[in-house]
Amino acid sequence: MSSSPLLALPPGLRNTIYRLVLIEPGKIQIHNQPPPEPALLRVNKRIRKEASSIYYKENTFRFHIRDFNIEVLRKCCASAAQVLRKWSTSSRKRKRCHFNYMIYTCYDWPELLEWLKAYYDGRCINVGERHDKDACPVHSLFGLVSEMKRKQDLEWEQVTKNLEYVHQGLRATKSGWL
C-alpha cells in the first residue's frame, strides 16, 4: 500500500485518530516479552513515523520483572529508543517513554549488576522505587552508583569493586542477596 486515505486528513485530525487507536487507558503490561506493536504502526512508513512517538511517549509500560532479568526491558527499550531518538531530534523538548517496573525478586546479584551498569551508562532509569520496602536497598544502590559516577567520577570497574563490598555486607545480613 503506497498511500493511505488516513494521510489525506489534516495532521491534527490524524494525531487525534492515532491517540484514539494507540493510547491505552491503563498501563501496557509486559511480562516475558515485549508486546507486538499495534497494527496501525505497520500500515506504512509515514504513519509509523507519525504515530509511533505517540504510542511510546503517551502510554505507560509496566514491566513485570523477575530477578532483575534485564532482557525483556532491553528488547522493548531498543524498539522505543529507536523511535524516540528519531523523534526527539526534531523537537526542542526531550521526549521520554513512561516505564514503570514491578520487580519480583530473588535478589539475583549478577542481574542487578547488569541493571546498575545500564544505569551507569545512561541506558535505563533507577528501578528501585522508594515506596517499595523490598526495593529499598536497590534504590540505595542506584543512588550510590549515581554518586560514584557524578560526584567521584569513578570508572565502572571502580564502582563494581565498591558494590562488591556492599554485596558482601548484604550477604552477611542474610537478606537473600545471592
List all residues 6 or more positions away from 42 whose beta carbon is below 8 Å from its beta carbon. 48
Which of 10-14, 31-35, 108-112 has the weakest average pLDDT? Answer: 31-35
Q: What is the pLDDT of residue 172?
A: 80
In degrees and rounded to multiples of 5, residue 144 shows phi and psi of -65, -45
- Whole-number percent of the chain with pLDDT over 70: 62
Find where cell 542481574 sits. 111
Q: Is residue 22's pLDDT more than 70?
A: yes
Per residue in 56-113, pLDDT (tens digit) is 888 887 777 666 666 766 666 665 555 445 444 444 444 455 555 555 555 678 878 8
Rounded CA gap, 156 and 61, in Å?
Answer: 29
Q: What is the pLDDT of residue 12?
A: 95
Per residue in 126-149, pLDDT (tens digit) is 665 544 444 556 778 888 998 998
CB 55 within 8 A of CB 39: no
Query: Which pLDDT band holds residue 114 (cuts at 50, 70, 90)?
Result: confident
Q: What is the pLDDT of residue 88?
A: 44
Whole-model pTM: value is 0.56
Q: Is residue 161's pLDDT more than 70?
A: yes
Q: Share the mean pLDDT of the chain.
A: 75
Rounded CA gap, 91 and 153, in Å?
Answer: 31
Question: In sequence order, what DSSP letters do the residues of 89-147 get, joined into one string?
Answer: HT-SSPP--EEEEEEE----HHHHHHHHHHHHTTSS-----TT-GGGHHHHHHHHHHHH
For 69-139, list the strands marked E by DSSP: 98-104
Q: What is the pLDDT of residue 148?
A: 92
Domain boundaries, the chain: 1-104, 108-178
Q: What is the mean pLDDT of residues 33-39?
A: 80
